[in-house]
Amino acid sequence: MLPLGEEPIEEQLHAHCRTYILGLIGGVLMPDRTNNKVHLMYLTFLTNLRITTRYSWGSACLAVLYRELCRSTYVKVKTMGGCASLLQSWAWYHMPYMLAPEVAKKI
Amino acid sequence: MISICFQNPFFFCYLFILISSILQDPKDDVVESFCHSMTEPRPLAIPILEQVGFGQIAKLRHLKVDHALVTSLVERWRLETHTFHFLTGQCTITLQDISLQLGLNIDGPPIVGPTMFDWEEMCDAYLGVAPVKGESLIGSQVKLK
């Protein structure tokens, strides 16, 4: 990641944001079997940050999660990619009785 | 009673399953999910992240994933219908859930496009760093750290 100075110019700040978003995509939103790598095809959608928000990131995330859930149903598969945080928060939202006691206390 | 049990061929099957389930380590069946620890975003970058629509995800990055919960959900997942089969019926994750919980856009152009680019040049131009080919840049994938 590009080290950011105290007062970065706009271009540096945007480059920092692009790197951070790419990290979020590969680490939280759509991790896959490669584990610690992210495909650079997502960078083509981040070139202009003003139009990035128009793209349908939600459906892409759901498609990846569906595919990873299908893949992980096989007996030999031990790891699952996709947005597991979303799966967990979905389960908590729809089935609140499954909440762990320590989490339920915080909510 | 014992002789009836031994005459029944299914009894041995049952016995085999029982013993193997005792011998098997329960950790073997757990489906683990990939999770990466992301660093805190810089205060200057937060308004841009919010504007681009990734602000909610940046907040979610600390959520610890319960592997037991994920495993039990995977066990109830049906490939054919893309739904979870519970005793009470079927349900699935919808686009509405994504929009509400992750704050991501669910309409607009899809995330598809060409992938034939000079990635080194693109990284240099848009990320401000040129990854070393073969080390941090493998094929068209870049290492997260």
Same-domain check for residues B99 and B55? yes
pLDDT in tens, B25-72: 556 678 887 777 778 888 888 888 888 888 888 888 888 888 888 898
Is the pLDDT higher at B40 or at A24?
Answer: A24
Residue B133 scores a pLDDT above 90: no
pLDDT in tens, A59-80: 999 999 999 999 999 888 888 8
Same-domain check for residues B94 and B133? no
State whether B127 and A36 contact (CB < 8 Å).
Answer: no
Same-domain check for residues B97 and B47? yes
- Examine residue A53 and state whether it is found in any structural domain, yes or no: yes
Q: What DSSP character marks residue A97?
A: G
Residue B132 scores a pLDDT above 50: yes
Residue B143 scores a pLDDT above 60: yes
- Examine residue A64 and state whether it is found in any structural domain, yes or no: yes
* Interface probe, candidates B20, B31, B78, B79, chain A, greatest A C-beta count within 10 A: B31
Distance between CA atoms of residues A100 and A83, nearest Å: 20
Spacing of C-alpha A106 from chain mean position: 24
For residue A79, give the nearest of B31, B66, B123 by CB distance: B31
Chain A to chain B, count of Cβ pairs less than 8 Å apart? 221
Mean pLDDT of the region A22-45: 87
State whether B101 and A53 contact (CB < 8 Å).
Answer: no
- Examine residue A102 and state whether it is found in any structural domain, yes or no: no
* Distance of residue B8 Cα from the nearest chain A Cα, in angstroms: 29
Same-domain check for residues B140 and B90? no
Same-domain check for residues B122 and B83? no
Residue A36 scores a pLDDT above 90: no
How many domains does chain A contain in total?
1
How many domains does chain B contain in total?
2
Amino acid at A100: A
- Examine residue A101 and state whether it is found in any structural domain, yes or no: no
What is the pLDDT at residue B13? 46
- Examine residue A60 and state whether it is found in any structural domain, yes or no: yes
Residue B138 DSSP SS3: strand
pLDDT in tens, A70-107: 999 988 888 888 888 899 889 988 888 877 777 767 66
pLDDT in tens, B102-129: 989 899 999 888 888 888 888 888 888 8
Same-domain check for residues B90 and B120? no
B130 CB near a chain A CB, below 8 Å?
no
- Examine residue A67 and state whether it is found in any structural domain, yes or no: yes
State whether B66 and A87 contact (CB < 8 Å).
Answer: no
Which of these ranges, A8-22, B2-16, B91-105, has the smallest mean pLDDT? B2-16
For residue A17, give the nearest of B33, B48, B97 by CB distance: B48
Q: What does pTM read for this prediction? A: 0.82
Residue A57 scores a pLDDT above 90: yes
Range of the domain at B138: 116-145
What is the pLDDT at residue B60? 82
- Examine residue A2 and state whether it is found in any structural domain, yes or no: no
- Examine residue B101 and state whether it is found in any structural domain, yes or no: yes
Q: In chain B, which among 27-66 make CB contacts under 8 A with chain A? A: 30-36, 38, 41-42, 44-45, 48-49, 51-54, 57-58, 60-61, 63, 65-66
Same-domain check for residues B61 and B97? yes
Residue A23 scores a pLDDT above 80: yes
Q: Which residues of A touch B50 (CB under 8 A)?
A: none
Mean pLDDT of the region A39-47: 89
Range of the domain at A28: 10-82
